[in-house]
Chains A and B, each alone.
Chain A
Amino acid sequence: MTSTVQRLKQMEDKLPVVEAKLFETFRPVKPDQAFVHDLQHRLMHKPEIYLSPSNNTILHYLLILLASVFSVVILAVLITKFSYFLVKILNKLGGVKYQA
């Protein structure tokens, strides 16, 4: 029992050592001054670029929409061309006259 108490006491005594190690480990760090000035400039003069990520999102969706419309048009043209070509072949084969 006494040994357990002593062991706990020893363990507790080691805590200031850990604290001292932490003081030694965490040294103050300073940001690079060029970064500090650059960020200040960006904050003061061009915040809209960073503050409006939604603008990028809107542009993103617009591009997707444009690409979708373009794809549909291309697909429609291709289907028309293909059906026209198909009708021509069937007509050449003779028999019933098909009209596109």
Chain B
Amino acid sequence: MTDLSDETILALAGQGDSESFGLLYERYVSRIYSYVYYRTGNPYDAEDLTARVFFRAMHHITSYQDRGLPFSAWLYRIAHNLVANWHRDNSRRPEIPLDDTLMSPPHGVEHPEIALLKLEERERLLRIIRRLPPDRQQLLILKFVEHLSNNEIGQIMGKTEGAVKSLYHRTLNSLRDDLEEILNTEMLEHDLNSSTVKTNGG
């Protein structure tokens, strides 16, 4: 049964077969979790929202209509809507700090100083990404976490392949500008601190 295509399993799940839905769940739970995790930044909300995605999917599976899009597109849309609601509900709360595991240094033997610099850079980039509009965040996660093609991303986001390419290019430009701006500010602060220390020392 595990070799069956999504379409066949969906047909069975649509008739109320919970085991078939279980198979779909096994296939997609990690992907949906990853997506939600990077959109929320912490594992607790990621687990809660992942659970809601699958309960909602299960609730509506009988009314699911195959429109030629992959099943994952439907799940990602549910996830996207739930994450949007979550952000709206949390908009008045202070920004949630990025999770420790998200910030953990990469595996492998590396000089501690280099590892720390990389960690800081990663943290900086993730903060910038989390300030991007939701559609740009979604695009980056689908591209770099799920490794989907522009065509597949377009199917999920309801855009043409060309529109996805264009949005991706604009997103990269915006990230580059933000990164440069932050680096320039940090360099300026560093110079100011150095000159202050010299003045005090002299």
| A contacts, CB < 8 Å to B | 11, 14-15, 17-19, 21-32, 35-36, 39-40, 42-44, 47, 50-51
B residues less than 8 Å from A14 (CB atoms): 176
Asked if A51 and B59 sit within 8 Å, CB to CB, the answer is yes
Chain A interface secondary structure, helix, strand, loop or mixed?
helix
The 3 lowest CB-CB distance pairs between A and B, nearest first, are A26-B144, A31-B33, A50-B55
Flag whether B26 is at the interface (Cβ < 8 A).
yes
Question: CA–CA, A23 to B117, complex, Å?
Answer: 16
29 contacts between A and B (CB under 8 A): A14-B176, A15-B172, A15-B173, A15-B176, A17-B176, A18-B179, A19-B172, A21-B121, A22-B175, A23-B144, A24-B106, A24-B118, A24-B122, A25-B144, A29-B37, A31-B29, A31-B37, A31-B46, A35-B47, A39-B47, A39-B54, A40-B29, A43-B21, A43-B22, A43-B54, A44-B18, A47-B55, A47-B58, A51-B58
Question: CA–CA, A31 to B43, complex, Å?
Answer: 8
If A18-B176, A51-B58, A51-B59 touch, whether A42 touches B122 (CB-CB below 8 Å) is no
If A15-B172, A43-B55 touch, whether A22 touches B140 (CB-CB below 8 Å) is yes
B residues less than 8 Å from A44 (CB atoms): 18-19, 22
Chain B interface secondary structure, helix, strand, loop or mixed?
helix
A residues less than 8 Å from B84 (CB atoms): none
A residues less than 8 Å from B101 (CB atoms): 29
Pick from B43, B51, B102, B173: contact of A42, CB under 8 Å: B51
Residue of A with least CB distance to B33: A31
Q: A73 to chain B: closest CB distance in Å?
A: 38
Flag whether B50 is at the interface (Cβ < 8 A).
yes
If A14-B176, A39-B50, A44-B22 touch, whether A29 touches B58 (CB-CB below 8 Å) is no
Q: From residue 1 to 49 of chain B, which have CB atoms closer than 8 A to chain A?
A: 18-19, 21-22, 25-26, 29-30, 33-34, 37-38, 43, 46-47
